């Protein structure tokens, strides 16, 4: 493997660079569309056996669990069963080195009686957050997904349900292959149906023209017959019928062509007016043709049009819907649900280990009335205890927002840089690589430190580190 | 000025003002890392302890800046 690639890697790198240049020149960069809450999948994509709609961050979280499980299975299978085997190399070896390093690191911080529990907690949180954070570096994450109109859910008081509408108030119904959109006031008409309607209008107009011609011929014939009849007295109609027919054929040239053209135009004008009325109500027919053309739309004809994401409200374009990509997978740590859950788990574990180590006496850390009447400064102790209580709940917020803010801001940086410099956003990927590690480490480390602090008795250790800073 | 532009203007100004809070976090991180590096230089044997406490302090200082960031992200992307 190695010898095969020797000396050829540079060509692979060159090829990648050239394809990057080609893609950057060929494909117009898509303006990043940024949304803080995890995006909901279109209707019909529920979490299996429930009514809850999938979100793309949830999909990412599931992928994280699966990867973590695979990782655990792999590592435990590769682990040498006794000390005499040749140690396995490769990825396992790297992980073992990392594991031992972190074990020593945590041992230096919390190497007491509860080391095992604290280290297990640290390592679990570290791996979950690390895998979740690094997913933003994988190509396709945050970029490949459904094409759909820029929508939000709006409460409709009349029917007491949430409707999916675009920012401009278009109601969304599910169509073939994802979404079609219609205005609330009109039905969705596909371009094919539109063309068919045009064709039938044309047929109707031609039919109207020939009908008008026939009418004109019949009128002319009748007028001629009437004139003949008036002129020649009370003849039987049968007598003159033959003459009338010959004169009909003769009279074809004298049919009023303006009148037939007017009939033709009238029918077509009806169709045009119908189309214009639909346009005036904001009903367009349109489809995005491919994922690269999100933002492009075919408005009625084959002409392509670039629709800005925030069009001028008075313009025609505002009636068209901005199309955005709803990624299949978005980094799990950019959703507050994920980070808040991790924060709550940390919080619960901190309290659990506190009770486990100190029993019911752990509560005196928060409700410290023991010195209230014994010492002149007892009131301060009570206040400090209450502050600690508040500070413990603030930890949840601080944990969850720290991770969310860092990773969300990081993915925005990646979007914007890929938009500004499509060829070389590599430095920012490297930056995000390190931010991912550091945030995972900080999350796990703070959990470990707080868990260690919770095991230390308040009374016997007065000089412990008041690191809470809250 | 039409309402749309006013909204965008307000959002941009608000988000920018919210990010002033990040300055405090920057100052805090700079001070704590500077102090830690000095301490490590004088006392290389205690590098591990100092580093741990430094990371802890940096994380807390950074948290404040991140709150500011979250506020400005909410102003930009959630308020409509």
Q: Which fold has domain B14-77?
A: F1FO ATP Synthase (1.20.20)
Q: At what angle do helices A336-358 and A426-455 cross, to 10 degrees?
A: 30
pLDDT of A217 over the 60 cut:
yes
Beta carbons of A405 and B4 less than 8 Å apart: no
Ranking A4-13, A137-146, A227-236, A428-437 by mean pLDDT, the lowest is A227-236
Spell out where A321-401 has E strands: 323-327
Q: Identify the pLDDT of residue A176.
A: 31
Chain A CB contacts of B1 below 8 Å? none
The pLDDT of residue A207 is: 85
The pLDDT assigned to A290 comes to 32
Worst-scoring range by mean pLDDT, A7-21, A131-145, A270-284, A337-351? Answer: A270-284
Q: Which tokens belong to A286?
A: 């349109």
Sheet containing strand A179-182, strands side by side: A151-156, A161-166, A171-174, A179-182
SS3 content of chain B, % helix, strand, coil (to 5): 90, 0, 10
From chain B, the residues in CB contact with A34 under 8 A are 76-77
How close A442 comes to chain B (CA, Å)?
A: 7
CB contact under 8 A, B55 and A313: no
* Spatial separation of the C-alpha atoms in residues B78 and A404, rounded to whole Å: 15
Res. A205 pLDDT band, cuts 50 70 90: confident
Structure-model confidence comparison of residues B1 and A131, the more confident one: A131
Indicate yes or no: CB of B73 within 8 angstroms of CB of A109: no
Is 0.80 surpassed by the pTM of this model? Answer: no
Q: Is the pLDDT of residue A79 over 90?
A: no
Mean pLDDT, residues A49-62: 88
The string of pLDDT tens digits covering residues A400-434 is 999 998 899 888 888 888 777 777 778 889 989 98
For position A210, what pLDDT does the model report? 84
Q: Is B70 within 8 Å of A405 when comparing Cβ atoms?
A: yes
Cα dihedral sign, B24-B30-B33-B34: negative
- The answer to which of A224-238, A312-326, B27-41 has the lowest mean pLDDT is A312-326
**Can you tell me which residue has the tokens 């029918």?**
A267
Please judge whether B55 and A402 are an interchain contact, meaning their C-beta atoms are less than 8 angstroms apart. no
Alpha-carbon distance of A420 to B25, in angstroms, equals 28
Give the DSSP letter of residue A319: G
Give A-chain residues touching B77 at CB under 8 angstroms: 34-36
Range ranked top by mean pLDDT from A215-224, A241-250, A394-403: A394-403
Residue spans of the domains in chain A: they are 55-143+331-455, 147-191+280-327, 192-279
pLDDT of residue A302: 31
* pLDDT tens readout for residues A283-324: 544 433 333 333 434 333 333 333 443 444 455 544 455 556
- Can you give the pLDDT at residue A149? 58
> Which chain B residues contact residue A313 at CB under 8 A?
2, 4
User: What pLDDT, on the 0 to 100 scale, is given for residue A286?
Assistant: 42
Locate the domains of chain B by residue range.
14-77
A146 vs A278 pLDDT, higher one:
A146
Considering only alpha carbons, which residue of chain B is nearest residue A106?
B52
8 Å CB contact of A402 and B73: no
pLDDT, greater one: A85 or A329: A329
Query: Is B13 touching A (CB cutoff 8 A)?
Result: no
Which pLDDT tens digit goes with each residue over A132-191? 999 989 888 888 877 665 655 566 666 666 555 554 444 544 333 333 333 333 444 555
Query: Taking CB atoms and an 8 Å limit, are A401 and B78 in contact across chains?
Result: no
Angle at A36 between CA B71 and CA A131, to 5 degrees: 105
List of chain A residues whose C-beta atoms are within 8 Å of the C-beta of residue B70: 401, 404-405
């Amino acid at each position: 493997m190695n010898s095969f690639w020797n000396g050829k890697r540079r060509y692979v790198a060159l090829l990648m660079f050239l394809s990057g240049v080609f893609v950057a020149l060929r494909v117009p960069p898509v303006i990043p569309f940024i949304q803080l809450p995890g995006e909901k999948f279109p209707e019909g994509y529920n979490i299996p056996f429930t009514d809850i709609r999938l979100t793309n961050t949830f999909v990412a979280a599931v992928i994280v669990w699966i990867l973590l499980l695979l990782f655990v299975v792999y590592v435990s299978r590769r682990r040498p069963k006794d000390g005499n085997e040749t140690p396995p190399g490769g990825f396992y070896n790297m992980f073992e080195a990392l594991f031992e390093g972190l074990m020593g690191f945590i041992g230096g911080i919390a190497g007491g009686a509860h080391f095992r529990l604290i280290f297990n907690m640290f390592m679990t949180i570290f791996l979950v957050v690390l895998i979740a954070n690094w997913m933003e570096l994988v190509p396709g994450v945050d970029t490949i997904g459904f094409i759909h109109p820029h929508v939000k859910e709006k409460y409709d008081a009349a029917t007491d349900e949430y409707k999916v509408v675009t920012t401009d108030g278009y109601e969304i119904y599910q169509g073939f292959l994802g979404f079609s959109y219609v205005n609330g006031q009109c039905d969705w008409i596909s371009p094919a149906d539109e063309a068919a309607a045009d064709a039938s209008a044309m047929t109707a107009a031609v039919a109207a023209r020939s009908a008008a011609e026939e009418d004109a011929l019949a009128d002319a014939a009748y007028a001629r017959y009437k004139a003949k009849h008036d002129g020649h007295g009370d003849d039987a109609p049968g007598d003159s019928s033959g003459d009338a027919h010959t004169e009909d054929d003769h009279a074809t040239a004298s049919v009023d062509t303006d009148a037939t053209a007017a009939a033709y135009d009238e029918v077509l004008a009806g169709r045009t007016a119908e189309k214009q009325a639909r346009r005036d109500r904001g009903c367009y027919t349109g489809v995005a043709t491919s994922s690269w053309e999100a933002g492009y739309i075919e408005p009625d004809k084959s002409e392509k049009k670039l629709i800005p994401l925030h069009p001028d409200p008075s313009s025609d374009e505002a009636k068209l819907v901005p199309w955005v990509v709803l990624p299949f997978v978005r980094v799990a740590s950019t959703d507050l649900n994920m980070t808040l859950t991790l924060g709550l788990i940390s919080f619960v574990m901190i309290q659990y280990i506190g009770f486990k180590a100190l029993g019911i006496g752990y509560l005196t850390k928060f409700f410290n009335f023991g010195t209230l009447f014994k010492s002149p400064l007892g009131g301060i102790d009570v206040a400090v205890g209450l502050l600690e209580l508040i500070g413990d709940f603030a930890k949840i917020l601080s944990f969850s927002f720290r991770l969310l803010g860092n990773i969300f801001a990081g993915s925005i940086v990646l979007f914007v840089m890929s938009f500004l410099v499509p060829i070389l956003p590599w430095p920012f990927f490297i930056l995000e690589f390190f931010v991912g590690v550091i945030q995972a480490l900080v999350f796990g480390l703070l959990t470990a430190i707080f868990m260690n602090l919770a095991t230390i008795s308040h009374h016997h250790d007065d000089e412990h580190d008041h690191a809470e800073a809250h | 000025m039409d309402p749309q532009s006013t909204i965008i203007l307000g959002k941009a100004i608000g988000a920018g003002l919210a990010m002033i809070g990040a300055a405090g976090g920057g100052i805090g991180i700079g001070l704590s890392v500077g102090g830690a590096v000095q301490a490590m230089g004088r006392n290389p044997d205690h590098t591990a302890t100092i580093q741990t406490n430094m990371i802890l302090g940096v994380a807390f200082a950074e948290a404040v800046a991140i709150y500011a960031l979250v506020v400005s992200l909410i102003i930009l992307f959630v308020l409509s």
